[in-house]
Amino acid sequence: MLVKLPKIFGRGGKATAERLRVRLARFRELVQKNDRVLTLMAEAGEMLGGEYLFDRVFLRDFADELRDTVEGVIQDLSEVSGERYPDLLRALAEVDDAVRAAMELRPPVPDAPAILPMETMGLEHADAAGEKMARLGEIRNRLGLPVPGGFVVSTRACWDFLQRAGVTDAVRALDTGREGAPERDAPDTEELRRRILESELPPELARSIRREVRRMVEMDEHVLFAVRSSAAGEDSDLIAAGQFTTRLGVLPDQVPTAYKEVVASLFTPEALAYQEQHGVPPGQGMMAVGCLVMVPARSSGVVYSLDPLRPDREVQLVAASWGLGTVVVEGKAPVDRFALKRTPERTVLFRRVAEKSHRCVPAPGGGVVEEALPEEMRTAPSMNDAELRAVSEAACRIERYMKCAQDVEWVLDSLGRVAILQARPLRIQPSLAPAGRALRQELERYEVLMRGKGEVACRGIASGIVRVVADLDSLPPGGTGELVLVAPSASPRLGSRLSQASAVITDVGNATGHFAAVAREARIPTIVDTGIATSLLEEGQEVTVDAEENVVYRGRVEELLHYQLMRSASFEDAPEFRALRRMLRRIVPLHLHDPQDRTFAPDRCRTYHDLIRFAHEKAVASLTKMEWVRPSSDVEYVRRLLLPIPLDLVLVDLGGGVDAPAEERRVGLEAVQCRPLLPLLEVLCGEGGWETSPADMDLNGFMSSATRALPLTTPLASRPEQNLALISREYLHLSLRLGYHFNVVDTYLTDGANDNYIYFRFLGGVTEIVRRSRRATLLRRILERFGFVVEGRGDLVIGRTRGLTAEHMVERMRMLGRLIGYTRQLDIHLRDDQRIDEYLERFLEGDGNLSGA
């Protein structure tokens, strides 16, 4: 039987087929590389959970492999599409540079804006804003504790300023002299300071500072500022930075000058000696400066979340006095001292009210001044029990989050409300920490409820009350993180409940999945995939979760909780973890969403994830645009799928997707070998999958669909989309146009959970806009129920999931088959918002038949 090739191919049908084969093979390689990158990203994310020991060499190899693989993807794209993408290669080089820079264990001055507002500050800004301010920002924005507003002048801005002042050479010279050089010549540094104080700030920086200050003044015309240095680098806590790097009581106009003074004071002989002692390049470690609004302090003080000399006693220590905290921190005058028990009741064990003589207050012209206390205040306690407990509560929350004991500076305003000014790890004598062996013996006393099941997604130790979360909607919001959430699966929806949790344990899940990443961000000890947690652990039980050894104990194991607190810092703060986090920030976040949007472009690619997303999408688009891709095609690799439903589907076989003789242009389902496609089609073609009864249309909806012209914004106007499946044995890229709906399913289904993923996209629609958005809402909720991470705006719905086992993947593909059938006529039925819930329930119950509603 002669195979006739359509005329469009012109001469050399065989050559064309060969070229096609090459393109398809390249596409297949692109898909594999794409998946490799996604897997690498997920595995690296998993390493942030603390289970793995890795070092700089690993980070370098990781960066190398990523770069090489993404470059391969771009090259594959060129082969598949026949186009060059110089912009992509440029973007690749930029991302690679950024990743290498991020990898430095002691990062150089990062490219950051000059001003960083406290409203968006977090630990991820530690390089630019310094540890102190970054941590405060985290406490403010992640923990929601009261922290004064303000802004940080970044390390970058400081370096630019020093350059303008012409002192950067002198600063660098201080460094080279370090090896063995005993002293700084006093004249050098004095000159340095003088030049800093006398130089003008760069105009842009001065403007930015004034603008921020003005913003604060608008909120309170009497505002005063505290201008404090904020050290960058992991040893910043060693650089406790004495009082010479702080200016208090700064009037708005004085902020720029105070800034210069703080920067200059970093170069005093004492400061330099201190830095040298702690192995920090002079000036490098301390170049961010925080400008925070000063809280009018009625009282201030310090709280230690553990007694550093007797950490075994479950006690918190508080020192307080009237006015600003300098009195307490300097430790020169008598102050009130309290001790509280670390239990939830926070029993006050001890109150020693001192004879206080002075307090520190803002001075009228700026700065601070000491004034004598009025008689009645001298022997009055500077805080009451309620305030003590509030301070203690705050310290506990910070401690739990940071996973180590804390030294916290706080202030009480005129109404007795707490605000946090600073928090850092509390140094406990190592000799006082319980020895490993002793700990093991202590632990033998406790009953083990579960051991060694599943895998640790985020290390840590926490205790709490078990809450078995079969249905997330039944869990009321609120609470302060005392619950151990035990859930059937690591659904992304759990992520929104993490503020209530001290730990999370799931029956099903993957340490490389999305929820695991969210748990690590929140630093919540998490164990996934245990298989039996929901049946083994009882509602209301108090347990201690050791997500290091992977053991769950009955009751509260003080020794373990202590053990964690006494470490000088959590593993999350170790240099290599920070480096990996920094790197991943330039690798993982996705900025490209809607392929139809003009922002889906090479110049918008800021991460490796963006690059592969773009490349993948473009590769698919170029393949599906090709002329030979149509049902009547006679080209090898292209077939038409015969289905029992009225759906025209073109199959492009990348290799292993179809088992049928090469000359057969039409095949049935039984020839399909593509693992993800089969379950989807089986359900779509099965009972109730493709709606067979007449649609129950109401007149409005029908009129709207019949007369609506295709808006030019839909993708359908640009080119006629085929119903098309690009398939191999494990891979599927399915694009389906059903009526005016446009579905895309892109998935990889193997026996290795780590490599598996599903990407589902839905756009378009019949009927008017309100119903279209109802449908989008319904789709999002269905996808969320099935553990997809959902995004999208308006009509566009995108769902993603990864890390599922083959079995679960098949379940999801079946669900998608049902979903695609279900949505075909859904708009017509979605008459009002209340019906969304109804249709959600019907879908979940397996009822795909919409008529009879």
Partner 1 sequence: MRSPYQVLVLDDEEVVCERLKAHLEKKGCEVEAFTESQTAIDRMAKKSFDVVITDVKMEGPSGLDVLHFVRRENPATQVIVITGYGSIESIREAEYGGAFEFINKPFTSKAIEALTLKAAKKARKQGAGGKR
The one among 12, 18, 61, 692 contacting partner 1 by CB under 8 A:
61
Q: By C-beta, is 21 or 567 nearer to partner 1?
A: 567
Interface residue with partner 1, options 10, 52, 531, 663 (CB under 8 A): 52
Q: Using CB under 8 A, which of the segments 431-439, 490-498, 599-607, 707-715 binds partner 1?
A: 431-439
Cα 745 to Cα 624, 698, 779, distances in angstroms = 14, 30, 14
CB of 769: closest distance to partner 1 in angstroms?
51
For the bound state, the minimum distance from the C-beta of residue 57 to partner 1, rounded and expressed in Å, comes to 5
Q: Are 601 and 124 in contact (CB under 8 A)?
A: no
In this complex, which beta carbon is closest to partner 1, that of residue 385 or of residue 559? 559
- State yes or no: residue 67 binds partner 1 (CB under 8 A): no
In sequence order, the 6+-apart residues with CB closer than 8 A to the CB of 254 are 225, 366
Q: Is 53 a binder of partner 1 (CB under 8 A)?
A: yes
* Strand-pair partners of 151: 117, 291
Out of 16, 21, 29, 58, the residue judged to bind partner 1 by CB under 8 A: 58
Runs of H (alpha helix) within 754-829: 769-785, 806-823, 826-829
Segment contacting partner 1 by CB under 8 A, of 44-52, 131-139, 517-525, 608-616: 44-52
439 binds partner 1 per the rule CB under 8 A: yes
Closer to partner 1 by CB, 565 or 776: give it: 565
Q: Which stretch binds partner 1 (CB under 8 A): 46-54, 148-156, 270-278, 642-650?
A: 46-54
Sole residue written with tokens 């889906």: 600
Bridge partner residues of 542 (DSSP) = 465
Q: Which of 86, 203, 364, 436 binds partner 1 (CB under 8 A)?
A: 436
Output 65 or 119, the one with its CB closest to partner 1: 65
Stretch that binds partner 1, among 55-63, 355-363, 396-404, 415-423 (CB under 8 A): 55-63
The rounded distance, in Å, linking the Cα atoms of 432 and 450 is 30
Does 55 interact with partner 1 (rule: CB under 8 A)? yes
Task: Please tell me whether residue 559 binds partner 1 under the rule CB under 8 A.
Answer: no
Amino acid at 17: A
By CB under 8 A, residue 235 contacts partner 1: no
435 binds partner 1 (CB under 8 A): yes
Task: Give me the least distance between CB of 435 and partner 1, in Å please.
Answer: 7
Tokens of 603: 């110049």
CA pair distance 821, 691, nearest whole angstrom: 7
> Within a 10 A sphere around the Cβ of 22, how many other Cβ atoms?
12
| Candidate list 16, 54, 308, 432; residue touching partner 1; CB under 8 A | 54
Residues in contact with partner 1, total (CB under 8 A)? 22
Q: Which stretch binds partner 1 (CB under 8 A): 397-405, 430-438, 649-657, 728-736?
A: 430-438
Q: Strand, helix or coil at 554?
A: strand
End-to-end CA distance of the chain: 52
Helix, strand or coil, per DSSP, at residue 549: coil
Q: Name which of residues 440 to 499 contact partner 1 (CB under 8 A).
A: 440
Q: Is 835 left (phi over 0), alpha (psi -120 to 50) or beta?
A: alpha
- Is 717 among the residues that bind partner 1 (CB under 8 A)? no
**792 close to 740: Cβ distance less than 8 angstroms:** no
| 709 near partner 1, judged by CB under 8 A | no
Query: Cα separations (Å) of 713 from 301, 622, 743?
Result: 60, 20, 16
Least distance from C-beta 511 to partner 1, angstroms?
11
Per CB under 8 A, the list member of 13, 16, 21, 51 interacting with partner 1 is 51
Sheet holding 418-425, edge to edge: 348-352, 336-341, 315-322, 299-304, 406-412, 418-425
- If 0-12 CB within 10 Å is exposed, 13-18 middle and 19+ buried, where does residue 334 land? middle
d(CA 72, CA 74): 5
Chosen residue from 376, 437, 444, 540 binding partner 1 by CB under 8 A: 437
15/435 with CB nearer partner 1: 435
Give DSSP secondary structure letters for 281-295.
-TTGGG-EEEEEEPP
Residues numbered 531-550 forming contacts with partner 1, rule: CB under 8 A:
548
Binding mask 73-112 for partner 1 (x = CB under 8 A): --------------------------------x-------
Work out how close the CB of 71 gets to partner 1 at its nearest, in angstroms, rounded to a whole number.
Answer: 19
55 or 83: CB nearest partner 1: 55
In which order are the strands placed within the sheet that holds 150-153? 115-117, 150-153, 288-293, 225-230, 246-250
Site string for partner 1, 562-591 (x = CB under 8 A): -----x---x--xxx---------------
Determine, following the binding rule CB under 8 A, whether residue 47 of this chain makes contact with partner 1.
yes
Tokens coding 745 = 């399913």
432 touches partner 1 by CB under 8 A:
no
Contact predicate 826/820, CB 8 Å: no
CA distances from 547 to 462, 504, 505, 594, 647 (A): 8, 10, 10, 38, 50
Residue closer to partner 1 by CB (options 140, 459) is: 459
Residues that bind partner 1 (CB under 8 A): 47, 51-58, 61, 105, 435-437, 439-440, 548, 567, 571, 574-576
